[in-house]
């Protein structure tokens, strides 16, 4: 290649890098705790809470955190500082097992919490909210790429799902197995990539590289008008249970319990519903999480967006 040509390619790359704007977090890097904006200057007596939460809870928990801090301030108590670490539930579970300084852990399915509870790392989990699956496709694509139904996708779409090691991938596999066998097999054959977590699955649709993807309903809500939803047959859908528990090693056990109760309480539930979670069963802190991790949903959960 001539130097002029290389220079052109180089400039192109610089422009492309600039265009990507906010980059997704490097999948190889350990999840960095997203420190709160105000935690730079800490008043001497501020109480500090580190919250580990599933990646799908990011939007809802960020808002709930603000609410919680404001509510604590109104009681006249010392200021509260919150630090969040959002990542895959299995990753967070492994980190807590290795002694990560978490106070509260909210997981995308009950299994990691149950394992942690059995090992004495966390207290009894409480049900936080529910999630289920939708198929999304890029809103912009037209014509041959506009796969409108599951059969369209099975006929000629590039489908991206989550890897079976992630809860989303496991739910997706269950969903495929509940579809009509021919349709389920045809969809499986259309899978071009098994991404490591829900946000990466969604990302492939937002970039227009995938014609369709199976994601959590909350991911579809978060993506807003950039994606269109292809609803699944209700009897094939899978309901995921999110649960929350207080970490036993917490240095602020009361405050941790208060946050867990707040997230499972009326304000938290309203925020979770706004983020697309299903919260039809009001949960109480201390109540055991349902033992079944996935069960069919009777009737399509409508009204995910308030």
Partner 1 sequence: MGALLLLPLGALVVRTGPDAFVAGLRSDIALPALRLSLATSALALGVTVLLGTPLAYRLAFSDGRAARAISTLLSLPVVMPPAVAGVALLLAFGRFGLPSALGFPDASLAFTGAAVVIAQVFVSAPLYIQGATAAFRALDRELFEVAASLGAGPRRAFFRVALPVARPGLVAAGAMAWARALGEFGATLMFAGNLEGVTQTLPLAIYVALESDPAAAQALALVLMFAAFGLLALVRRRTIGTAVR
Angle between helices 253-264 and 58-74 (to 10 degrees): 120
Residue range at the interface with partner 1 (CB under 8 A); choices 51-59, 86-94, 100-108, 272-280: 86-94
* 283, 289, 293, 295 alpha-carbon torsion, rounded to 10°: -50
Closest by Cα among 25, 57, 35, 26 to 222: 57
Q: Which is nearer to partner 1, 7 or 77 (CB)?
A: 7
CB of 209 to partner 1, least distance (A): 5
Q: Which is nearer to partner 1, 23 or 74 (CB)?
A: 23
CB of 190 to partner 1, least distance (A): 11
Task: Kindly write out the interface string for residues 186-215 of this chain, putting x where it contacts partner 1 by CB under 8 A and - elsewhere.
Answer: -----xxxxxx---x---x--xxx------
Q: Which is nearer to partner 1, 188 or 300 (CB)?
A: 188
- 251-270 residues in contact with partner 1 (CB under 8 A) are none
160 near partner 1, judged by CB under 8 A: yes
13 near partner 1, judged by CB under 8 A: yes
CB of 88 to partner 1, least distance (A): 7
Q: Which is nearer to partner 1, 1 or 37 (CB)?
A: 1
Dist CA 239 CA 104 (whole Å): 23
SS3 labels along 86-149 = EECHHHHHHHHHCCCCCCEEEECCHHHHHHHHHCCCECCCEEEEEEEEEEEEECCCCHHHCCCC
98 near partner 1, judged by CB under 8 A: no
94 near partner 1, judged by CB under 8 A: yes
CB of 195 to partner 1, least distance (A): 6
- 19-78 residues in contact with partner 1 (CB under 8 A) are 19-20, 23-28
- 120-159 residues in contact with partner 1 (CB under 8 A) are 144-145, 158
17 near partner 1, judged by CB under 8 A: yes
CB of 189 to partner 1, least distance (A): 12
Q: Which is nearer to partner 1, 27 or 288 (CB)?
A: 27
CA distances from 63 to 247, 260, 286 (A): 22, 14, 23
Dist CA 52 CA 101 (whole Å): 9
Q: Which is nearer to partner 1, 28 or 224 (CB)?
A: 28
Q: Give 248: exposed, middle or buried? Use CB within 10 Å, 0-12, 13-18, 19+.
A: middle
Near partner 1 by CB under 8 A: residue from 1, 37, 292, 302: 1
HSE-up (13 A, CA, CB side) for residue 201: 33
Give the binding site for partner 1 (CB under 8 A): 1, 3, 6-7, 10-14, 16-17, 19-20, 23-28, 88, 90-91, 94, 144-145, 158, 160, 163, 165-166, 191-196, 200, 204, 207-209
């Amino acid at each position: 290649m001539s130097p002029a040509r290389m220079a052109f390619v180089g400039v192109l790359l610089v422009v492309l890098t600039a265009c990507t704007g906010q980059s997704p977090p490097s999948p190889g890097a350990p999840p960095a705790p997203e420190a709160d904006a105000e935690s730079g200057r800490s008043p001497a007596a501020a109480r500090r809470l580190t919250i580990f939460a599933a990646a799908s809870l990011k939007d809802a928990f960020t808002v709930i955190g603000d609410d919680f801090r404001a509510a604590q301030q109104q009681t006249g108590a010392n200021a509260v500082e919150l630090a969040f670490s959002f990542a895959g539930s299995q990753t967070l579970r492994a980190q807590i097992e290795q002694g990560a300084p978490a106070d509260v852990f909210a997981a995308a399915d009950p299994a990691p919490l149950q394992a942690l509870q059995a090992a004495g790392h966390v207290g009894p989990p409480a049900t936080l909210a529910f999630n289920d699956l939708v198929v999304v496709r890029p809103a912009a694509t037209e014509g041959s790429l506009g796969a409108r139904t599951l059969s369209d996708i099975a006929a000629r779409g590039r489908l991206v799902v989550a890897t079976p090691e992630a809860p989303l991938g496991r739910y997706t596999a269950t969903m495929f197995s509940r579809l009509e066998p021919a349709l389920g097999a045809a969809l499986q054959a259309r899978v071009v990539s098994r991404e490591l977590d829900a946000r990466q699955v969604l990302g492939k649709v937002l970039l227009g590289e995938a014609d369709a993807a199976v994601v959590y309903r909350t991911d579809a809500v978060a993506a807003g008008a950039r994606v269109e939803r292809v609803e699944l047959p209700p009897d094939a859908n899978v309901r995921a249970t999110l649960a929350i528990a207080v970490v036993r090693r917490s240095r602020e056990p009361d405050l941790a319990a208060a946050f867990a109760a707040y997230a499972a309480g009326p304000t938290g539930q309203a925020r979770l519903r706004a983020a697309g979670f299903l919260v039809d069963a009001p949960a109480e802190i201390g109540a055991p999480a349902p033992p079944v991790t996935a069960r069919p949903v009777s009737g399509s959960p409508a009204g995910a967006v308030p």
